[in-house]
Every structure is written in structure tokens, then in C-alpha cells.
Structure 1
Amino acid sequence: MAGFLDNSAGLSASAMDWGERRNTVASIGAGVLFFSGWWIMIDAAVTYPEQEQMNHAFHTCGVFSTIAFFMINAVSNGQVRGDTYGEAVWDAQGPALVVPGFMMMFGSLIASIWILFGAYVVPKKEVAPGLAVFFQNAFIFFSTLIYKFGRTEDLWG
């Protein structure tokens, strides 16, 4: 039984060929994180339906994170680098969506931390709804990063 992992070079990350699968893995990983974030928030909304338990205005952070996700990923990486300028409408205005998108994304993440501590930790209430708001925004944030920067080239081009 000793040494049964001696010939397991295929298990290391450096031995795997990510060339053709990198876009697929990044897209699936980002989708799972995005779905998990919304699933956590929907579960918290069902578990804590009363306004006193979880303020309904706290859903705004997740909505703005989702809008920012689409704003950031609507622009291809080639357009951000300046490789693919042409005659299309999005070629000139497309990169202008990335900066406001990241500002919305960071703002939503900071607001979710503020909600967690300001509405739940400091008043010594049950923390689970605040954690749901935070984890929703954190998961959407990381799914945006994985989808935007985890791919080698655009999926459509």
C-alpha cells in the first residue's frame, strides 16, 4: 500500500492541460458562484420574511452587484486592451462600462459589509440575514472576477 500515489502526476495542477478547457472551467465556476450567491439570499429572504428580521431594502446590494456583473462582462477583454476597435457601436463606448461597473461592484460589496455590521452585529441581532447579504455580494464579486479574468479569450469570438 505504500507509494500508491507515486505515479499520480496527473493529479497535480501543473500537469493538467488547461488550454482548451480554461474558458469552460472559468464559466462554470463563475456560474456556480453567481447561482450560490443568489441562492443564499433567496433562502435568507424565505427564512426571515419579516421586515424586522431582514429589511427588504437590503436586496438592493445584490441587484446592483448583478447589474455590475453584466456591465463588466458585456465588454470583451480585447476591447479593454484596445485590440479590437472597429466600426461597431460598443467598440468606443464599451470600455466606459468597465470602470462604473467595478465601482458599482465594490460599492455593493462595501455596502453589504456595512449592512452586516450596522444592522446585525452592532445591535446584537441574529447575524444570519446579514451574512446572507454579505455572502451574496462576495460570491457575485468573485464570479465576476473569475468570468472576466479567468478566460483566455472571449467565448463569442
Structure 2
Amino acid sequence: MSGFLDGMRCSECIDWGEKRNTIASVAAGVLFFTGWWIIIDAAVKYPSGESLNHSYHACGVIATVAFLMINAVSNGQVRGDGYSEGCIGQIGARIWLFIGFMLAFGSLIASMWILFGGYVAAEGAREVYPGIAIFFQNAFIFFGGLVFKFGRTEDLWQ
């Protein structure tokens, strides 16, 4: 999965080998920004707690923490390539990455639950856009984290 940009070749346009980290970083930043922009739009459009419960913002915060946790560990640390320092070394890096992915998937699943349980299947006529905004915020942050983690290569850092 770490080489999904390798299959895309356009040698006339762009040399992907030199620009891979830049493109992945910009794409991840745009996805992350779009997620937060959507929820800011929903919070401005529905300022009352009746339409958009303010506790639902916790999913986006947890997704952001997961984004940071996932990308705080390099692939070399997870593989154990010359990484023996730190608290618990390779095992600690793997546990950190696993907890980060659990938080990311958990926030995405929680946002789906909020969307369907709180807005789609809710009693009475309720506006659905706040639930959609919460889901898309978490989806964009989740996919931005994946692009930032697996879209870049560490070979260019050496």
C-alpha cells in the first residue's frame, strides 16, 4: 500500500519519484483541511445544540489525534530498521501505531453511528446535514492520514 503513487506514471508531465513526498503531503493537507472546513461550516450554520450537538465534535478531535499518532512513527521504526533507542523500541512504535489506527477507525465508525443514529433514523423531521458534515469530517481526516502515512517514501529522506 505504501507505493500507490508508483503505479501512476506520467513521465511527460511530472517526475513522480522526485515529487512524491510533496504531492502526498499536499494531498493529505488538503484532505485534512477540507474535513475541518466542513465541520466549521456546519457549526456556523447550526449554532444551537438542538441541530448539532456540540459533543459530536469529539469525533473530529479524536480523528485529529489519531492523524498525529499515525504519522508520528516512521515506517523504519515500525520495521525496526536501525531503531533500538527509546522507551520500548520497535514494539513501542508498533503499539503506538496500532492505537493510532484504532482511534482513527473508532472515530470514523462513531461518526457513521452519529450520522445514522442521530440524524437519518431520528424521530421527527430533522436536518441531516450536520450528521453528514460530521461523517465527512472524519472521513477526510482519516483518508488524509492514510495518504500522509503511506503516500510518502522515506527513501528520499536519506
TM score, norm. by length of structure 1: 0.86
Q: Tell me the CA shift for residue 155 of structure 1.
A: 7.4
Whole-Å separation in 2 of the counterparts to 1:68 and 1:45:
22
Whole-Å separation in 2 of the counterparts to 1:66 and 1:134:
14
- Summarize the Cα distance change of 1:47–1:155 in structure 2 as closer, same or farther, 3 Å threshold: farther
Alignment RMSD (CA, Å):
1.7
Matched with 2:93 is 94
CA contact (8 A) 2:9 2:16 kept: no
Whole-Å separation in 2 of the counterparts to 1:60 and 1:28:
25
- Tell me the SS of whatever aligns to 2:109: helix
Greater C-alpha radius of gyration: 1
Whole-Å separation in 1 of the counterparts to 2:19 and 2:35:
24
Structure 2 regions of 5+ residues with no counterpart? 1-7
Q: Tell me the CA shift for residue 83 of structure 1.
A: 1.2
Q: Tell me the CA shift for residue 89 of structure 1.
A: 4.5
Matched with 1:150 is 151
1:84-108: per-residue Cα shift (whole Å, max 9, x none)?
A: 3133457442222100110010000
TM score, norm. by length of structure 2: 0.85
- Tell me the SS of whatever aligns to 1:125: coil
List structure 1 segments (4+ residues) > 3 angstroms apart after TM superposition.
88-92, 154-157
Count of aligned pairs: 145
- Tell me the SS of whatever aligns to 1:15: coil
After the TM superposition, which residues 5-154 of structure 1 pair with which residues of structure 2 at under 5 Å, given as runs? Answer: 13-16=8-11, 17-89=15-87, 91-92=89-90, 93-123=92-122, 124-153=125-154
Structure 1 regions of 5+ residues with no counterpart? 1-12
Whole-Å separation in 1 of the counterparts to 2:82 and 2:113:
39
Sequence identity of aligned pairs in percent? 63
Whole-Å separation in 1 of the counterparts to 2:105 and 2:116:
17
